[in-house]
Amino acid sequence: MDKIVIEGGLPLRGTVKISGAKNAALPILAATLLSRGTHHLKNIPSLRDVNTIQKIMGRLGVSFESKGKELVVDTSNVVHHEAPYELVKTMRASILLLGPLVAGYGRAKISLPGGCAIGARPINLHLKALAQMGVDMYLDQGYVNARARRLRGADIFFDIPTVTGTENIMMAAALAKGTTVLRNAAKEPEVQDLAIFLRKMGAQIEGDGTDTITIQGAEELRPADHDIIPDRIEAGTFLIASAMTRGDVRIENCRPEHMTALLEKVESAGAKIQISRGAIHVMGPEKVQSVDIKTLPYPGFPTDLQAQFMAFMCIADGWSMIRETIFENRFIHVSELRRMGADIEINSNQALVRGKNKLLAAPVMATDLRASASLILAGLVAQGGLTQVHRIYHLDRGYERLEEKFRALGAKIWREKE
């Protein structure tokens, strides 16, 4: 397994280009199953999670041709309907195949994703909604077996606005008979990007981006071409890193309008920010001000940037209260940040960060994707030697060549074999 080594202390300077969004690419790849034929997807990021969904879809009979950042997806020969345990266990988002398979082919057998490092992450809301749409399901040997003739539209209320749940049911509803209304739906930009793709396939969808989405089911859909939106979490990670290292960075190929909550917080922490179309210019503050955050569904502060923002607050002037309301166990980075000298006290879902004027280099261990990014950010400002971030396997699931992009901004960071 690889590790990332960082010699901290240099301000980031220059321009960085943001890749396509992992969490938009995954549901859109799954949605290609809703029609037979050839789809052209642009701005597909090269990530382990994207490879994993391709591997599973490959077993179903889908073929892929990669042309740089474009992926040609051919769904003409789908013959299997099973997502096996050995692949699903490495990526929970595999559950996104359930809706399209059962709606498009009348059957699906998907391994139930287990718990994961950041929380139990049940999929009860996906299953309940599919049952309302007429899908018969039973659990056998850890697999959800689903069958249906044609799904029927339904009025569905989500107890919690679930991102992949909304996406799964939106895809299933696109081929259902009649109208489906999703209430308390997720409003994330990735849900909207999927809705745009589905509309290009011929689906009738209204209200995406609001908490009520209405889908008029179609008899059939057609293949489509699409350009995946930029990754707001990757852009946010660079924004925080630039502010934190007191850098001067232009972040290109991003959508600032998807990042309002973060931009406001980074500005409150003292950074200077200039926004133009598709780009953000950030200049870090001399003195970092402490800011409180609370993670919330979009458009609130994203849970996927909580760990990175906490690393930032570790060097703030003052105390910062960080509240995590989406996942029950998303403070796993805290004990590692403490090894770098951070002063953080956890009380249930709240972390009180007492800012210090420096962090110290140390060997640390990454336990989930965003926690890995947080430790790398801490390493970029750490003093007194080399920070080594072990088990960065998670990082490659969701960041494209992160260390190379940081190196191009002047950081001393490299990858080594363990």
- Residue 380's closest CA among 356, 353, 411? 411
Which H/E stretch holds residue 136?
strand 136-140
- Contact criterion met (CB below 8 Å) for 113 and 123: yes
Among 143, 197, 238, 327, binds ligand EPU (CB under 6 A): 327
Q: Which residue has the tokens 């240099």?
A: 10
Per-residue three-class SS string for 60-121: HCCEEEEECCEEEEECCCCCCCEECHHHHCCCHHHHHHHHHHHHHHCEEEEECCCCECCECC
Which of these ranges, 123-131, 234-242, 247-255, 409-417, lies near ligand EPU under the rule CB under 6 A? Answer: 123-131
Among 32, 162, 387, 388, binds ligand EPU (CB under 6 A): 162
Beta carbon of residue 402, minimum distance to ligand EPU (angstroms, whole number)? 13
Work out whether 23 is an interface residue with ligand EPU (CB under 6 A): yes
Q: Which residue has the tokens 């013959």?
A: 79
Beta carbon of residue 301, minimum distance to ligand EPU (angstroms, whole number)? 11
CB atoms within 10 A of CB 66: 11
Which of these ranges, 101-109, 118-126, 170-178, 286-294, lies near ligand EPU under the rule CB under 6 A? Answer: 118-126
Beta carbon of residue 67, minimum distance to ligand EPU (angstroms, whole number)? 24
Interface size with ligand EPU, residues (CB under 6 A): 24
CB atoms within 10 A of CB 86: 8
Work out whether 306 is an interface residue with ligand EPU (CB under 6 A): no
String marking each residue 64-103 x if it binds ligand EPU according to CB under 6 A: -----------------------------x----------
Active-site choice (87, 112, 116, 386): 116
Among 123, 228, 229, 382, binds ligand EPU (CB under 6 A): 123
Residue closer to ligand EPU by CB (options 116, 273) is 116
**β-bridge pairing 155-157 and 179-183:** parallel
- Contact criterion met (CB below 8 Å) for 276 and 303: no
Distance CA 411, CA 6 (A): 8
Instruction: Give the residues lining the site for ligand EPU (CB under 6 A).
Output: 23, 26, 93, 119, 121-126, 160, 162-165, 186, 190, 303-304, 326-327, 369-370, 398
Which of the residues are catalytic? Answer: 116
